[in-house]
Amino acid sequence: MSSYTVHVIGGDGIGPEVTSCAIAVIEAAAARHGFNVQFVDHDWGSDHFFRHGRMMPPNALDTLRQANAILLGAVGHPDIPDHITLHGLLLPIRRGFDQFANVRPARLYPGVASPLVGYPPKEIDMVVVRENTEGEYAPVGGFVHHHHPSEVAVQSSVFTRQGCERVIRFAFELARRREKKRVTSVTKSNAQAYSLVLWDRVFQTVANEFPDIETESLLVDAAAMNFVRRPHSFDVVVASNLFGDILSDLSAIVRSSIGLAASANLDPTLTYPSLFEPVQGSAPDIVGRGIAPHGSDLMRRDAAGSHREGGSGARRGSGYSRGSGGGQVLTPDLGGAKTTRRCGRLSWRGWDSWSYARAEPDREVVRMPPAPSTGQPARPFVLRSSGGRTDAVC
Ligand code: IPM
Ligand code: MN
């Protein structure tokens, strides 16, 4: 029986409520499909900061390196500036583990209403692929005359050819496994005449390798407008770190709620473990009430959808409404009245009623890396494509 090690950083606010739900779903999947998962819990985050003056121990990345995958709940505390919490935990993991492809699927599910009037289920089905290790988030800059009236702040973007190329190529490979087979590049080369001009050039070069994929290039402002005006037309959208950050929130809300948004920070080379997180944040106002948005707890809806659809074409599309009780099993952020755990359990039932095992291994896109300690062969549990769709799993 295969064994995996998943390291869990519940983190701040509602984070631990969300990860505990995710763990329950993974355990149910493991029991049903015959593999072992060992969870290693880390009490890192803002409480750790209050006790030790840092968000995680200095050797944290060495510890996490042993994992097959990492689950993160949330990072952020009202009493600590966000740039301290984020630069002390999430961002060093993304960069340190070279998780260059940040995959954020956004699909409109049956039983969940879009704020855009008149959008039927499944009409919105896009994935934002965000560059995750450089661009506008590169830690390059500083202050001059710090805290004096003449203070100057410099923050530089870093766009490398290799960095652009690998994430753009990832987006094209993803599009090949989906139905619409379209990649939209997000740019602003009319104003950013170096970084985004390089991005555009690399996009064109990579696009030439994929003649079967339809392409478009949109300025980021036009992309924002079109996410609202014609969200159904998008398939895979590839963007720089900051543009992808902003547009992925927009993609989440046009299909209902940031509470359904999930984020896979992938190192597709499998050199390092990948990290899976919800996008909703620590939500201190609802901590402990048991009503944290459940949809992102495991990215399991997309997972369930892709596996099921791969196994049984006749049943396509009904899994979410089953899992969500046709819209009755929803947390308050989605207009329902159920708790996080209840939704997790009921959703799992919906998922469980389909055959996870039917997923087609040959359509696998990204595999979980073997743990260095166990040397176990990788079992696909991360990102897969089936039935023409690719979704992040776990
Ligand atoms: C996200 C978040 C983070 C980001 C913040 C919390 C640093 O907004 O994952 O989208 O900007 O990447
Ligand atoms: Mn964000």
48 domain residue, yes or no = yes
Distance from Cα 311 to the centre of ligand 2, integer Å: 33
User: Which ligand sits closest to the CA of 87?
Assistant: 1
Residues 160 and 244 in one domain: yes
pLDDT in tens, 214-262: 999 999 999 999 999 999 999 999 999 999 999 999 999 998 878 778 8
Residues 268 and 347 in one domain: yes
- 392 burial (CB, 10 Å; 0-12 / 13-18 / 19+) is buried
172 domain residue, yes or no = yes
Q: Enumerate residues with CB within 5 Å of ligand 2 (an ion).
A: 245
pLDDT in tens, 75-100: 999 999 999 999 999 999 999 999 99
116 domain residue, yes or no = no
Q: Do 392 and 262 touch, CB atoms closer than 8 A?
A: yes
Q: Is 279 in the pocket of ligand 1 (CB under 6 A)?
A: yes
Asked which of 254, 286, 310 is the last residue of a domain, the reply is 254
Question: For every residue of 16-51, which 3-state class applies, written as one string?
Answer: HHHHHHHHHHHHHHHHHHCCEEEEEEECCCHHHHHH
- Tally of domains within the chain: 2
With a cut of 80, say whether residue 142 has pLDDT above it. yes
- According to DSSP, residue 77 is labeled B
What is the span of the domain harbouring residue 23?
A: 1-106+257-394
User: Which ligand sits closest to the CA of 263?
Assistant: 1
Identify the pLDDT of residue 24: 84
Pocket test for ligand 1, best of 46, 245, 248, 251 (most atoms within 8 A of CB): 245
385 domain residue, yes or no = yes
Asked which of 235, 254, 273 is the last residue of a domain, the reply is 254
With a cut of 90, say whether residue 68 has pLDDT above it. yes
User: Which ligand sits closest to the CA of 91?
Assistant: 1
* Edge-to-edge order in the sheet of strand 3-11: 36-42, 3-11, 69-74, 274-278, 262-266, 101-107, 125-131, 236-239, 182-187, 214-219
Residues 277 and 243 in one domain: no
**Closest protein CA for atom 11 of ligand 1:** 245
Identify the pLDDT of residue 307: 27
CATH number at residue 162: 3.40.718.10
**Closest protein CA for atom 7 of ligand 1:** 86
Can you list the alpha helix ranges (DSSP code H) found in the chain? 15-33, 46-52, 60-64, 82-88, 90-96, 161-176, 195-208, 220-229, 241-254, 300-311, 319-323, 340-352
pLDDT in tens, 310-332: 222 222 233 333 344 445 556 67
Asked which of 200, 221, 254 is the last residue of a domain, the reply is 254
Residues 204 and 296 in one domain: no
Distance from Cα 25 to the centre of ligand 1, integer Å: 25
